[in-house]
Amino acid sequence: MKVIPVSALSDNYIWLIEGMNKQQVICVDPGDASPVLEVLKEKNLTLEAILLTHHHFDHIGGTAGLLKAYPHLSVYGPKDMRIPYVTHTLQGGDILALDSYQFTILSTPGHTSTHICFYEPQQKWLFCGDTLFSAGCGRVFDGSIEALHDSLQMLKTLPDDTQVYCAHEYTQQNLRFAATVEPNNPAIYHHLQKLLNQVPPCSLPSTITLEKQINPFFRIQVAAVKEYAKLKGCQEQDSLSVFRQIRAEKDKF
């Protein structure tokens, strides 16, 4: 079983999850139908279902086009009136049995108020939309910084060897910011150099272990990260205050 990356728009990844019948796939966050349909045709695959993490158009914009090609698809996503075409609504704690998989639905608000992630514990796959990026995290839109903080801290508790499938190729930019937060962290520079030398440039999947080494939003308890937040004006050293300051600095980076 494998996960196939499909590049879309300017920097999105759409993920195709191979089913037990290797000619059937599940599609995660189709922001654009065209590249998905091209891969399906090229590899002689059939679409089985669509999983949506949140309502932003670069994650759902291809749903209509895929439904045109596959009219009877089931579409799974959070309960949110801003997401059309959902046939089955999901919330945190639900178990989605699909093909040979048992996805645990994780409620991860913050980037948006209704964001969810899909975690497959046997395969140790996390499809995290825009909540967690490699070396970063999503901005706050209609969610809250408090919710985003709590969501990231929850994802940090997943098994270390969990493979992290984010929805954007932001890793190099995120690493450059992480290096300003922790200029003496060799893991950041090592990973950045690895990506600069890598062909093709896809940096994903990451792992929870790697994120604990390079992601400032997973490292808010580390002394150097706290010191950076303090230098930027953070008056408190609690987890949420440091997280809020780091996110504010990343917004300006």
Binding positions for Zn(2+): 54, 56, 58-59, 111, 130, 168
Residue 131 near residue 117, CB atoms below 8 Å: yes
- The active-site residue out of 111, 115, 149, 191 is 111
Measured distance CA(253)–CA(123) in Å, rounded: 35
Which H or E run includes 88?
A: strand 88-90
- The active-site residue out of 55, 59, 115, 149 is 59
Q: Is 59 a catalytic residue?
A: yes
Residue 160 three-state SS: coil
Measured distance CA(204)–CA(24) in Å, rounded: 22
Q: Is 130 a catalytic residue?
A: yes
Q: CB-side exposure of 23: number of CA atoms within 13 Å?
A: 3
- The active-site residue out of 32, 54, 149, 191 is 54
Q: Is 58 a catalytic residue?
A: yes
Q: What amino acid is encoded at 6 in this protein?
A: V
Q: Is 55 a catalytic residue?
A: no
Q: Is 54 a catalytic residue?
A: yes
- The active-site residue out of 80, 130, 149, 150 is 130
- The active-site residue out of 58, 80, 150, 191 is 58
Q: CB-side exposure of 154: number of CA atoms within 13 Å?
A: 19
- The active-site residue out of 55, 115, 149, 168 is 168
Among 69, 83, 97, smallest CA distance to 129 is for 83
**Residues of the binding site:** 54, 56, 58-59, 111, 130, 168
Token pair listed for 248: 């504010």
Token pair listed for 213: 């080494």
- The active-site residue out of 55, 56, 115, 191 is 56
Measured distance CA(224)–CA(178) in Å, rounded: 11
Measured distance CA(104)–CA(66) in Å, rounded: 24
For 155, residues 6+ apart whose C-beta sits below 8 A from its C-beta are: 106, 108, 117, 126, 128, 131, 132, 208
Residues carrying an active site annotation: 54, 56, 58-59, 111, 130, 168
